[in-house]
Each structure stands twice: as C-alpha cells, then as structure tokens.
Structure 1
Amino acid sequence: MNVLIIEDEELAVRKLTKLLQDVDPTLTIVGTTPSIRASVKWLEDNLPGQSSAPDLILMDIELADGQSFEIFEQTRVTAPVIFTTSYDEYALRAFKVNSIDYLLKPIKRQELEASLEKHRRISSGVAPETTPAVSIDALVQQLRQQIAPTDYRRRFLVRHLAQWVPIEVTDIAYFCSEDGVSLFRTRKNQKFSVDYTLDELDAMLDPAQFFRANRQFIVDIGSVQQIHPYFNNKLKLTLRPNPDEEVLVSRERATDFKKWMGK
C-alpha cells in the first residue's frame, strides 16, 4: 500500500514514518509534502493509475501555508485520508472530505493500527465508506476529553553538557521550532532541545499558561512584554528573553490571543 504523508514538521514526519513502518513494514511511503502548494503539485504529478499514486493519505490539518482542507478545493483527491491534528475543532469538517478517520497528536501506535485496519476493511468492501453522524459526535466528544488532560506537563528532562537536567515548565518562556528541531528558552535565556513536535507540546501544556502564537512559537503568558498591531490584522509580540526571530500572531488567532491575555 502506497502512503503519502502531508505534514509540515520534520520531526513529526520522521516519527510518523517510523511508526508506520513499525506497524506495517509492507507499507511504502511514496512521498512527504509540507504545504498546500507542494501537496497539490505532488498529487497532480502522481495521478490515479500511476505506480506512485497513493492508496492512503495521512494529512495534518494545520500546514505552514494554511489548512489542508484547501488541497481538496485546488485539486481532485481520490485516495482516502486519515487526518492528524492537535485540535478537535476540525473533526466534523474532516469527515466531509474523503476522511476515514481522525487521529489526535501525539499519535499512538494502537490508534494508528486501528485506522489502518479500518482502511483495509473499507477498501475490501467489508465496511461502509461513510461514517454515521452518531459516530462523528462520539468521536468529537472523545477528542475533547483527550485534548483536555487533567494533568499538564510540569517539567522536562533535557541534556546539558554531560548530564540530564530537569527544567520546570514554570521556568520556560517559550517553545519554538528551528530547522525542524523543537527548542525551548528559559527565563534565564538558556536554550534546550526537546524530542517533541510543537503540536505534541501544544497538547501537553496548560492552555491557561501557554498559547500557540503560530506554527513556530508557543509562548508563556509571562514572557509577553508588549503587543503591537501588525499588517493584515496580525499581532507582533515582544518577548522576554528576546527571540532570534520575529514572533507574529496570525490574523486568525489574534482575537483568541487577546482573550487569552485578558483573562
């Protein structure tokens, strides 16, 4: 079975590739694309009937250049899709566009195995190709329970020189992604790498304390020093310690950010 992975975080691609190979070594990863534009081009270059055409697509909803739903508006997608994301708000819409399942990050082996088995049953005609509305409602409820854990992450164990050091979450100013690697910077301006994607970190951090400003930054509320209006209704943040690059809150997230800061 040919599988196409649409995901914009390199670490997430590596993890998902390894998980797929562990679950089913017979699978072939025929391609990985990081954006809407690249995905549309890849699909148009690998049409149904060609040896490289995908039998299944694993698709992250939030990509660097927008939501992956736009792919379906720009080209014909014939392969079934398993959506992956940290946010349950897209569940209902996901099931309207070729979706056979919906996996919440971080993806668990058992859940991936179940999704692949569901795909095999549908492909063989054993299961219906559409999911009843009652199942979607149940799925949304389940996702909400998973995305709101009762116990958020309190510390991270990181490598420093020749030893492992525990860093309390309360000492972290922000998380960021640089060249495919997830990092965090402490209030004392120390930088450490962590073996999680930003999507995975977003799911394990207290949303009252941390906010996903964009695809590259998750900021702690205490690190925000100033908020400036920016082009196209975006917001520009001044953080402490000062990050290596500009931190913008997207237009779509600006209202939620202001509500979060004002609580």
Structure 2
Amino acid sequence: MLKPVQYAQFAVAMQKFERLRQSFQAGVLQQLAATLGGGADSVAAPAYKQRLVSKTRQGLYLLDVAELHYFQLRNGVTHAFDAQSKSFVLNESLSQLEAQLDPAQFFRLNRTEMVQLGAIERLELYFNDTLVVHLKSAGVALTTSTHRTPELRRWVGLK
C-alpha cells in the first residue's frame, strides 16, 4: 500500500493478509503433523523395520525380522538369533532396535536381551520377581530384569 491510504484499500489488504496468514498456518500445521506422523488425514501405523542387515566377511546377510527369535548384547556387540540359534552380528544397538521394531512383536527383557513374542515357548517363575523366558529355539532360556517383569506380564497378557 502506498500513501495516501484509503480505508477501502486498507480493508481489502487486511482481508488478503488474514487469508494468507490462515492458509500459511494451516499449511505449516499440516506439514508438521505429517512430519510427526500423526496428521488428521493420515491414520497410517508407524513403519517398523521388516529386514535387518548383517555384514560379514562373506558378504551381507538380509535377515527377515519375523524369523529372528531374539537379540542379545555380547561384549558390546548386538547379535540376532534365528530359530536354529544361528548368530548374526548387527550394527544397531538394542536401544535402536527397540525403537525400530514393532513393540507388539518384540520386548526388551533386560539391558542385554530382547525377545520376539512368537519365539516364546513358556514362562517360568524365578526368584526375586523375575521370570525365565524359555524359547522355542533349542535350550535357550533368557531371564527378565526385576523392573521389566510386570511389563512383560502385561505384554503377554497375564495381567
């Protein structure tokens, strides 16, 4: 707007400004909601990893997450284990895996182990409010930490 200002021109300019401001705010809010994954238009579930990669001297192994029974931290290195208890070294930490894998399928038992729900054969009471988790993999038994036991009971549907 240029001087001298007339009221009619000023009113038109203010209406245009208000329209632009509202459309800008709506666009920014929609973009922010889409970025955060929870827009009003999108009801899609979060995308969890379906495949992991294990890098070895022989090459790269593509591991189907559904076929992995448990993860274990050994000497600071994360290992994935399949039904035959074959070990695969991973680059991800357990904390990273916990964020990347479906929490309905995988549960962190303690600081060093995470298990898949479908791999659990039975739970056994242990001492000090802990549980031994027996897996379908031959002879594999993992123990929960005391503070994770109540959450594991809820996760498997015991409480």
TM-score, reference length from structure 1: 0.41
CA distance in 2, matches of 1:163, 1:223: 27
Structure 1 position 206 matched with structure 2 position 87: no
d(CA) in 2 for partners of 1:230, 1:157? 35
AA in 2 matched with 1:167: L
Counterpart residue number, 1:173: 69
Name the SS for the 2:147 alignment partner: helix
Q: Which amino acid letter does the alignment assign opposite residue 240 of structure 1?
A: K
Residue number in structure 2 paired with 1:250: 145
Residue number in structure 2 paired with 1:194? 90
Which residue identity does 2:53 align to in structure 1?
A: L
Q: Deviations over 1:196-254 (max 9, x none)?
A: 1111111111000000000010000011111111111111111132477x521122211
Q: Of 203, 214, 233, which residue of structure 1 is paired with 2:129?
A: 233
Determine what percentage of the aligned residue pairs are the same residue.
Answer: 28
- Structure 2, unaligned runs of 5 or more: 1-35, 38-44
Give, in angstroms, the shift of residue 183 of structure 1. Answer: 0.4
Alignment of 1:22-171 (within 5 A): 150-171=46-67
Amino acid at match of 1:162: Q
Give me the whole-angstrom Cα distance separating, in 1, the residues matched to 2:84 and 2:56.
Answer: 15
Q: Distance in 2 between matches of 1:243 and 1:182?
A: 20
Secondary structure of 1:228's partner?
Answer: strand
Instruction: Tell me, yes or no, if the aligned pair for 2:79 and 2:89 is still in contact at 8 Å.
Output: yes
Count of matched residue positions in the alignment of Structure 1 and Structure 2? 116
1:188 CA drift (Å):
2.9
Conservation of the 8 A alpha-carbon contact between 2:54 and 2:91: no
Q: 2:80 aligns with which of 163, 175, 184?
A: 184
- The structure that is helix-richer by fraction is 1
**CA RMSD across the alignment:** 2.1
Q: Whole-Å Cα distance in 2 between the matches of residues 241 and 161 of structure 1?
A: 26
Contact 2:131 / 2:144 at 8 angstroms: preserved in 1?
A: yes
Does residue 259 (structure 1) correspond to residue 138 (structure 2)? The answer is no
TM-score (norm 2): 0.66
2:130, 2:139 → 1: CA distance? 18
Is the CA contact (8 Å cut-off) linking 2:53 and 2:61 kept in structure 1? yes
Partners of 1:168 and 1:243 in 2: CA distance: 22
Q: Distance in 2 between matches of 1:252 and 1:233?
A: 9
Q: Which amino acid aligns with 1:234?
A: T
Query: Corresponding residue for 2:7?
Result: none
Distance in 2 separating the partners of 1:187 and 1:161: 23
Question: Quick one: structure 1 residues 243 and 216, their matched pair in 2 at CA, closer, same or farther if it must change by over 3 Å?
Answer: farther
Secondary structure in 1 matching 2:88: strand
Larger Rg: 2
Cα deviation code 1:125-173 (max 9, x no counterpart): xxxxxxxxxxxxxxxxxxxx69xx8101110122355221211100100
Contact 2:125 2:132 in 1 (8 A): yes
